[in-house]
Every structure is written in C-alpha cells, then in structure tokens.
Chain A
Amino acid sequence: QSALTQPPSASGSPGQSVTISCTGTSSDVGGYNYVSWYQQHPGKAPKLMIYEVTKRPSGVPDRFSGSKSGSTASLTVSGLQAEDEADYYCSSYAGSNNYVFGTGTKVTVL
C-alpha cells in the first residue's frame, strides 16, 4: 500500500488560510469516507483534527475543516494562528482492514 501524497510544505501569514491536499486512489481516499487528519508538533504525539472527511472532534476549533473530491482530500486551516505551525498528516482506510497515512505537510506560519 503506497502512502498518500501530500505537499511537503505549506505556509501562510497569520489570519490567512492554508489548504493541504491529500491524494490517493479509488482504493483508499476515493473509495471510503474514512479520511482523517492529524496535527503533530515537534516531539509530540499526533492529535486528531478531522475524521470521516469533514467531522471535528470535540475541542478542535472550527477554523479546521475537511473536504473530499474524488481521490483527493483536503484540510483547510482558516485564520492561521502561530500555534497552527506543525506537521499535518492525512490518513485513509484502504480496505481489508488496512490504513494508509499521507507523506506529511509542514505548515509554517510566516
């Protein structure tokens, strides 16, 4: 199972929006609505930000939103804040009880 493709980096100024893409295939992202997104600060454990493509867990700011079109999912962070600077990973169910992660995107707040 190949990793999902994410851009290595993305950036934006405080208050701006940044969108991260996550491209898979019809066997993973395109085939299931089990796409999730994780935020990871250096030296810390990942934190769930979005699940089932668009849902936010309790406590996650509504500045974070998810979407999907075909085999590409996206995470948008609106109103960028300094604390949003982190690595972000997407993940998808890939059938047959397998899961695949994205390659990761480093978000920089300028």
Chain B
Amino acid sequence: EVQLVESGGGLVQPGGSLRLSCAASGFTFSSYWMNWVRQAPGKGLEWVANIKQDGSEKYYVDSVKGRFTISRDNAKNSLYLQMNSLRAEDTAVYYCARGYSGAWYGWGQGTLVTVSS
C-alpha cells in the first residue's frame, strides 16, 4: 500500500523559508515521478512541482519558479520541497503525491504551511 507522510509545515513570516519533507513507503520510490500539490484554505487544488525518478528533471508552476526547489533522496525514500521567499499566497496544505500516467495515485495527509506576520 502506498504510504506518504509529509512533515515540516508551520507558521512562517513573509519572506521566510521552510523545508517540507515526504517519507514514502509501500512502493518502489525510485521508480516514480513525485509531486507536490497544494490547496489553499477553502480553495481548490494546485499542482506545484514534480521531479523525475532520478532527479534529472524538475518542473514548477510559474508562481513558484525561482523560489521553490523540489528534490529527492532515493536512498532514503524521501521527497523534499525547499520554499524560500514565502508569500501570503503560499499559505496552503501541501500534499506529496506519486505520479502515475499523468495523474496522482497515492497522496499523503498533507502538511499546513501558513505565511503570516
């Protein structure tokens, strides 16, 4: 069974930084694209970033380019999201999700990031 557990969320001031982690189990982590998807409070879903199996390709939604960095450690079955220059509009629950044929099959429970002074 796919299990994904996010951590690292919290309250941060505008302009600050935060690093999210996602621990994966129940599948061969190194065989899948991995993603971050976020959901602002009371709003819809937004794809944020993804990373290829070996980390050689990374893609981002325009609104986070240059501020967020996705990475992975296949030896530790872990996915990361380094978030810098955070803005109020980055406030959301951040989900880790396994890529599967243009979709996301297997989601974590999410971690809440609140950007506020």
A interface residues with partner B (beta carbon < 8 Å): 1, 3, 32, 34, 36, 38, 45-48, 51-52, 55, 57, 89, 91, 93, 97-104
Contacts and interface: CB of A to CB of B under 8 A. Distances in A.
B66 interface: no
Nearest to B50: A97
7 contacts: A32-B102, A34-B102, A38-B104, A48-B106, A51-B100, A100-B47, A102-B44
Contacts of B88: none
Interface of B: 37, 44-47, 50, 57, 59, 61-62, 95, 100-110
A46 B104 contact: yes
Contacts of B59: 97-98
A68 B28 CA distance: 32
The 9 closest A-B pairs by CB, nearest first: A34-B102, A36-B103, A97-B59, A51-B103, A45-B107, A99-B47, A101-B45, A104-B44, A48-B105
